[in-house]
Structure 1
Amino acid sequence: MSSATPAMLRLMTDLKAIKSEPPEGCSASPVDESNLMVWQATVSGPDETEWEGGIFSLRFTFTERYPEKPPRVRFCCDMFHPNVYTDGSLCMDVLQDQWSPCHNVSTLLSSIQSLLTDPNCSSPANPEAANLYLNDRTAYKKRVRRIAQKSLENC
């Protein structure tokens, strides 16, 4: 077996941690055991929110520069959220300028889950969602409920 790179060693540590203590309502693992660099993950919508009951799938793509550089993270399901671009990628400070090697897959999943109910509308990836969130919360919640229900069909 070829020697493991620092990124692979860190990903093995992250995998062990998420298996032993997964964040509430989250899961993640490599898509294929032979490739630690691409993971699939799920985040459940937090209880008592418009996201409740939804199960949202994500893909994490790591590079050899992990954990110095963050992974690319994308939702693989329909999303309607102020901080999610139409291609599913996230606009999130912890994946950009606030990244630190102390973050791992578990902390990222927890951050993504809390972002669902606490969006940052000051620099939206989806201006329509941000506008509805700020100006017509009822319409926003209705649209999110549809997305949450649809997510269950795609699991």
Structure 2
Amino acid sequence: MSVKARATQRIQKELKDMKSKHSLYSIGIETKGTEETNVFKWKTTIYGPQGTPYVGGIFQIRIEFPNDYPFKPPKFTFETRIYHPNINSNGSICLDILKDKWTPSLTVEKALLSISALLAAPNPDDPLVPEIGEQFKNDRFKFDQTARKWTEQYAYN
């Protein structure tokens, strides 16, 4: 069996497992028209965690799997704009398990839970956007106010 075929099997299993349970997010394969086109490209939605300026927000994330998944991490990209020190304007996410701390035992579900935890507890000491990280540390009220405003502007449906 080829590496890509094994990756396809793993991805399909994770998709089935995630669709079979109620969770904090919704997930699906990217489609064209009514056809599912590519199991290696997913669209997912996560919800802003309670007790954060993101509460009430619905955030779209695109997931792209490499052909050698799960040995390399999938790429997660926020499609919904968000004001966060660890997520930049291109939607890139600074989270160690999505980069050098990825292991084949991790799953998309665990990564989404980690992203949700990152929304609840940003890491301003390792920011992707240094000025937002500084604001988070030095003026939390202004950070929360701006993050809430962006959530209302970009993440409410």
TM-score (norm 2): 0.90
1:101 to 2:100 alignment = no
Q: Does the 8 Å contact 1:26/1:110 carry over to 2?
A: no
Letter in 2 for 1:11: I
Question: Any conservation in 1 of the 2:84–2:122 contact (CA below 8 Å)?
Answer: yes
Identity of paired residues, percent?
35
Aligned length: 150
Where does structure 2 lack aligned partners over 5 or more consecutive residues? Answer: none
CA distance in 2, matches of 1:18, 1:147: 29
Contact 2:80 2:155 in 1 (8 A): no
Give CA-to-partner distance per residue, 1:110-136, whole Å, 9 cap, x none: 110110011122221011210111000
- Match of 1:130, as an amino acid? G
In structure 1, the partner of 2:25 is 26
Per the TM alignment, residue 86 of structure 1 is displaced from its structure 2 partner at its CA by 1.9
The 1:38–1:102 alpha-carbon spacing in structure 2 relative to 1, beyond 3 Å, is: same
Equivalents in 2 of 1:93, 1:16: separation in Å? 26
Q: Which has the higher contact order (CA 8 A, sep 6+)?
A: 1
DSSP-derived class of the 2:42 partner = strand
Q: Runs (4+) of structure 1 moved beyond 3 Å?
A: none
What is the CA RMSD across the aligned residues, in angstroms?
1.4
Aligned to 2:12: 12
SS in 1 for 2:50: coil
Query: Please, which of 135, 140, 145 is the counterpart of residue 142 of structure 1?
Result: 145
Secondary structure at the counterpart of residue 81 of structure 2:
coil
Name the counterpart of 1:64: 67
Which residue pairs with 1:121 in the alignment? Answer: 124
Paired residue for 2:154? Answer: 151
Q: What letter is aligned with 2:133?
A: A
Q: Partners in 2 of 1:147 and 1:100 — Cα distance?
A: 33
Question: 1:34 aligns to what SS in structure 2?
Answer: strand
Q: Is the 8 A contact 1:43 1:56 kept in 2?
A: yes
Tell me the residue number matched to 1:132.
135
Taking the aligned partners of 1:47 and 1:122, their CA distance within structure 2 comes to 23
Q: Deviations over 1:70-129 (max 9, x none)?
A: 011110011111111221110110101110111111111111011001112222101121
For residue 28 of structure 2, give the secondary structure of its aligned residue in structure 1: strand
* Matched AA of 1:56: F
Distance, in Å, in 2 between the alignment partners of 1:150 and 1:8 is 37
Residue 22 of structure 1 deviates from its aligned partner by 4.3
What stretches of structure 1 of length at least 5 have no aligned partner? none
Q: State how far apart, in whole Å, the 1-side matches of 2:154 and 2:119 are.
A: 14
In 2, distance between residues paired with 1:80 and 1:50? 10
Contact 1:22/1:106 (<8 A) preserved: no
